[in-house]
Amino acid sequence: MRKEERYKGVLNWFNENVPVAETELHYDNPYQLLIAVILSAQCTDKRVNMITPALFRDFPTPEVMAASTPEVIFEYIRSVSYPNNKSKHLVGMAKMLMSDFDGVVPSEIDQLQKLPGVGRKTANVIASVVYNKPAMAVDTHVFRVANRIGLTNNSKTPLETEKELVKNIPEEQIPIAHHWLILHGRYTCIARKPKCEECGLKPWCKYFLNPKKT
Ligand code: SF4
């Protein structure tokens, strides 16, 4: 199957069957989303959503967070993975938001990546979810699902996957395509054993059509 045909089939299927796809993290503003995404590294959204209400209540702005210490923040986030590093990152991130960005979460990927705890994936999430930019954040689900379906050609790195997806998905669909692939990977095309029998992408999926070669 030609690549264009595969992309067209997959995107059409998602458009028709999953018209709404959003992050499962709870947040009310860009600052809260940035905190939630930093906390979600190597951790489930469900766990993050359990601890953020108290954190957002007691540290409602970057200014308040910047005046705190990692030791204080640690007590709020101790049940997520890597709480030591993440508490340092959150306070450092808030301090830099205040010192370099007037307390406003920036929209440019390179500026976002300057913030402590913010790598390329997190920067792409903020750029696309908050600012609706054509940025594709590649997490473990996006990476695996894109390779399985054949949207990427046995890509070896998240950056390779990101570039290939951005090149082939129409710009206006890139923000939602990120959520389509994550949710598909989380609930259907799961890592251990994909649920191919209930998947609507079978007609275009390289893995399904020829599992031995994938
Ligand atoms: S057909 Fe199977 S391998 Fe392909 S996307 Fe669906 S669940 Fe994943």
200 CA to centre of ligand 1 in angstroms: 8
**Annotated catalytic residue within 121, 195, 206, 212:** 121
Ligand 1, atom 8: closest residue by C-alpha? 189
**Can 156 be counted among the known catalytic residues?**
no
**Cα separation of 187 and 183, whole Å?**
6
Rg (CA), the chain: 18
**Can 121 be counted among the known catalytic residues?**
yes
Tokens of 142: 């996006």
206 CA to centre of ligand 1 in angstroms: 8
Taking only the tens of pLDDT, the chain with its 214 residues reads: 899 999 999 999 999 999 999 999 999 999 999 999 999 998 999 999 999 999 999 999 999 999 999 999 999 999 999 999 999 999 999 999 999 999 999 999 999 999 999 999 999 999 999 999 999 999 999 999 999 999 999 899 999 999 999 999 999 999 999 999 999 999 999 999 999 999 999 999 999 998 665 4
* pTM score, whole prediction: 0.88
How distant is the alpha carbon of residue 6 from its chain centre?
23
DSSP 64: H
**Binding-site residue ranges for [4Fe-4S] cluster:** 189, 196, 199, 205
Q: What pLDDT is recorded for position 212?
A: 67
